[in-house]
Amino acid sequence: MSKVCQITGKKVMIGNKVSHSNRKSKRTFEPNLFDKKFYIPEEDRWITLRVSANGIRTINKKGLTNALKDAKAKGYLTTY
């Protein structure tokens, strides 16, 4: 499973690890992802999403159905 949030679209970024002597080597910055189950009362079913901590906050703020609709419109989510 890829390391991409299905609500916000956050994914792995690449940058430099910089030592005390200022030597640089490549490293990855990974999003804070969780596999979380959400209940959709309109459809009376549970869905499992891979969401970041920021994605969970977005769902709490907008509501699950609006967050899913926005994610599908932006192309982060194909089906749920």
Ordered by start, the domain boundaries in the chain are 13-74
CATH node for 13-74: 2.30.170.40
Q: Quickly state the pLDDT bin for 2 (edges 50, 70, 90).
A: confident
- 75 contacts 68 by C-beta, under 8 angstroms: no
pLDDT digits over 14-51, tens only?
999 999 999 999 999 999 999 999 999 999 999 999 99
Integer CA distances (angstroms), 33 to 15, 20, 22, 29, 40, in order: 19, 30, 30, 12, 21
- pTM of the predicted structure, to 2 decimals: 0.86
